[in-house]
Amino acid sequence: MAAYRNTPGFQRVLHAVKHVCFSKQRCGVIICRYSTVYDPNEKVSLIIRVIKTCKKMGIKTVAVHSDVDSSAVHVKVADEAVCVGPAPTSKSYLNMDAIMNAIKQTGAQAVHPGYGFLSENKEFAKRLAAEGVTFIGPDTHAIQAMGDKIESKLIAKAAKVNTIPGFDGVVKDAEEAVKIAGEIGYPVMIKASAGGGGKGMRIAWNDEETREGFRFSSQEALSSFGDDRLLIEKFIDNPRHIEIQVLADKHGDALWLNERECSIQRRNQKVVEEAPSTFLDPDTRRAMGEQAVSLANAVKYSSAGTVEFLVDSKKNFYFLEMNTRLQVEHPITECITGLDLVQQMIRIAKGYKLQHKQSDIPINGWAVESRVYAEDPYKSFGLPSIGRLSQYQEPLDLPNVRVDSGIQEGSDISIYYDPMISKLVTYGKTREEALKKMEDALDNYVIRGVTHNIPLLREIIVHPRFVSGDISTKFLPEVYPDGFKGHMLTAGERRELLATAAALYVAAQLRSQKFLGDLRVSVVPAESRQWELCVELDKGVHMLGVSRSGNNYTVEIDGEKVEVSGEWNLASALLPITINGKHRTLQCLLRTAAGEISLQYLGTSFKLRVLSNLAASLSKHMPEKVPEDTSSILRSPMPGSVVAVSVKPGDNVAEGQEICVIEAMKMQNSMTAAKTAKVKSVHCKAGDTVGEGDLLVELE
């Protein structure tokens, strides 16, 4: 690491824009647990990403926040904090007047804009320059040129950067979109000119999808960026999404800091990233890096930035866009290069030359990043979930694990901002080592109070196709064509799970018989060492025999014996045990007096019921709840706001017809009819806020 004593002349930096660090867009600092060089003996401390670097450089920090973020972690960690308005981003994090007032009020000399919103807004950069405040990012020309996808593509062509065939102008309306798509040839990608992060992007395979895509993309673009202009390009089917990190100073020097593989996506938003890529050879890496630097030089870029490419199966690569800011996935580049990109951005903003040459940039080891979201992965690979983090524990006791987050136990995940919880990063000397560490980190990550996507993340990193490097942007729909269903248990894993549930049940029963280490009643008979249990899992019923010796349990299932041992600390969120000599970390999510047990095993939550033989024989007399007929009703699959309602009582609708549109975290989702029927009643209207499961429409 370069010494921090060479401090630029900033005494106070305002982190003034709500960032998209983890798309959480929580306020203008990048929030994380941070370390750039991974020492196995180093414990990564809790601190906000940019603030930590500023503190090491001797720079005071000011955080801005909305009123609902007044208790957020970044507010507590910064030297000062200023509220810039209510929760809606247009009234707070996009409110330039309020942010400029905060700058004047605190005397901040520079602004680090974070990862999103105003970070790529040229007007904001101009206003800062007019006030003599340094913008820690590129100048307004580069922001404007690269922030507009139409202009950036023309500049890329002029800089001899490979580009995707398509229409370079602004698409006026849906019918023109259909005409252009027909000329280019399906499939096409419709995307917002000022967009990013998957917002305002739709793939269309025919005229009808083009019209629908134009409508939704323009609405999302206007909502997210205040700019509804769209462009259309040829969709490169089944590509990889690989991006190059660049770093350029104000003296004409620029570097490429190797690549990041970002192909695992859902709805055009990244889910798992790694650096380097398994696919690139040195020659392709160099060619992509040189083109990325050529583009940066063409717009006189100065700061950290990212040039994104689509790469086909023959390693042909095409310019996608340039992000004139720090990327969400920048930590994995820091891991393999040892560079602190935030420190480099601050030095460049002050006018210092780059400290490194291209030959100095290494690829040391391998890094993997999982984006942990408050989402339900069983719904379209992730629809938002809201709630309060009733329990939260990051896996930072494991070596070579980094967690960039801005939340803590008790934090609220609200409808106002993106649902990302954190960026979980693991590092190893090899890819195999980094993936194994990620597997362990996900197993040890405790999140309660909201639904999260850890089940999906863990399945991705252990899937044979991912492990072999056979991936593309279509990985998820190809691997899970019927949607994600969670981990599919093998026969051996099923026995492990059943045995663990039985052992946990017995351990809980034994603990309930004791008080301060002694038997509750002196006349209680000697402790039993043999149990006959009935365990239900996935509508299957299993008869188990359990014997105990200390903390060791032998469970007999269908003639097979499973040895389970552990400390059985029932108060702990984590359940580290050994099963047949193999170490596993499970989490007990629920345990009731009725024998219900929910265990998070191999990332997925499984519901079991453990009963004594007597209780099992009586349970058959209990009535079962009749499931709701979901074909006749439409409930909101996520919390959000109603953008439009397309039907009224008495209307006839066809199966698949749009009934209403729900916007959640700036993404618009079309809700459709499950069958052909007449509308019986409508329970929502445009502008309503709805929760997950709320009734929207009833059909006859």
H/E segment holding residue 614: helix 613-619
The residues annotated with a catalytic role in the active site are 325
Residues in the chain: 700
Question: If you compute the radius of gyration of the chain from its CA atoms, what whole number of angstroms results?
Answer: 27
Buried b (16+ CB within 10 A) or exposed e, 504-518: bbbbbeeeeeeeeee
Read off the amino acid at residue 369.
E
| 124-144 burial code (b ≥16 CB/10 A, e <16) | bbebbeeeebbbbbbbbebbb
Dihedrals phi, psi of 592, to nearest 5 degrees = -120, 165
Element (H, E) at 564: strand 560-566
User: 3-state SS string over 461-505?
Assistant: HHCHHHHHCCCCCCHHHHHCCCCCCCCCCCHHHHHHHHHHHHHHH
Contacts of 323 (CB under 8 A, 6+ apart): 120, 146, 196, 305, 306, 308
Structure tokens at 694: 């709320």
- The CB density around residue 11, as the number of other CB atoms within 10 Å, is 13
> Is the CB of residue 59 less than 8 Å from the CB of residue 12?
yes
Angstrom distance (rounded) from CA 305 to CA 138: 9
| Structural contact between residues 256 and 292, judged by C-beta atoms closer than 8 angstroms | yes
* CA 304-308-311 angle, 5° bins: 145
